[in-house]
Amino acid sequence: MLKLWQLKGSMSLLSLADGFFLLKFSTEEDLEMILSGGPWFIRGKPFILQRWSPKFKPKRDEDAPIPVWIKIVDFPLALWTPTSISKISSYIGIPISVDSLTANRSRLTFARVCVLISKDSILPEEIPIEIEGEDLTLKVLYDWKPGKCEGCGSLIHPFSLCPKNPNPQPPKFRGRSSSRPPLIRNHRSNSSVRVQIPNSSR
């Protein structure tokens, strides 16, 4: 981890039950850099990081959603608001956060958003939207797409560790942390995302 992350401060790591780890950083800057960066891979495996919650319990939930980072290309400038970004990205999953460049509008070629996805998520390559009666299509790029278990569709384990596998293999190193509450709870539908342009953006 220290080779992967060029930290300005220090970091401590605690091993918890069921393949979970607790990381503590001495600086807020390092924490935000790691949470907004990635996806991170350690020993060739995705290392899923999320903020700690007081309700966290180190128990694996095979149906739990996982966070992925997406880029929404050529995001309409008139819609570059927290509400519109959350509404449009909810077509993919449950929005959690955006990176600093998206929040500060210092990079306008794409909006980068972290969303929670489940094993039932479709992960489309495009998002259809409607702005004042005009249909548009926004391209979506994924920093990393998780593979689904062939046996049960879980995003947490491969088929080699699936209970439905007649010849399961012993588990190897995996790590992920707890989830944090989403900003909004809109679920993706099959229809397009309808967005109103705020008056302040005209």
- Residue for token digits 């918890």? 16
Q: Which amino acid is at 83?
A: T
Confidence of residue 172 (pLDDT cuts 50, 70, 90): low
| Residue 182, pLDDT above cutoff 90 | no
Q: pLDDT tens digits for 139-155?
A: 999 988 888 888 888 77
| Residue 11, pLDDT above cutoff 50 | yes
Q: Measuring CA to CA, how many Å separate 138 from each of 74, 141, 179?
A: 7, 10, 28
- The average confidence (pLDDT) of the chain is 79
Confidence of residue 168 (pLDDT cuts 50, 70, 90): low
Q: What's the burial of 155, exposed, middle or buried (CB within 10 Å: 0-12/13-18/19+)?
A: buried
Whether pTM exceeds 0.75: no
The DSSP output letter for 84 is H
| Residue 196, pLDDT above cutoff 80 | no
| Residue 158, pLDDT above cutoff 90 | no
Domain residue spans in the chain? 11-60, 66-153+180-196
Higher pLDDT, 166 or 68: 68
% of the chain residues with pLDDT over 90: 27
